[in-house]
Amino acid sequence: MRASDTVCRLGGDEFVIVLSEVAHAEDTAVCAEKILKKLRVPIVIDGQEIHISSSIGIAIFPGDGARQRSC
């Protein structure tokens, strides 16, 4: 991650990454794919190869945070 970004562990296996200074919303998907690619690499512990799975959701502020009211 860049020095301007923030990585937080919410608890258990949930993490949040806040990307600041993003020029285009599409750049968040590029970053997410880079993270997923790194997480696909197996980890070897005591000679045992471990594979993990992950999923990423993306929310863009302020658009995805706007509430719509119905009449």
CA torsion through residues 38, 12, 2, 31, sign: positive
Cα-Cα end-to-end distance for the chain: 43
> In this model, does residue 66 exceed pLDDT 90?
no
> In this model, does residue 71 exceed pLDDT 60?
no
8 A C-beta contact, residue 39 and residue 27: no
66 or 19, greater pLDDT: 19
Indicate the pairing of strand 48-50 with strand 43-45: antiparallel
pTM: 0.76
Structure tokens at 5: 């970004």
The pLDDT tens digits of the residues spanning 34-56 come to 999 999 999 999 999 999 999 99
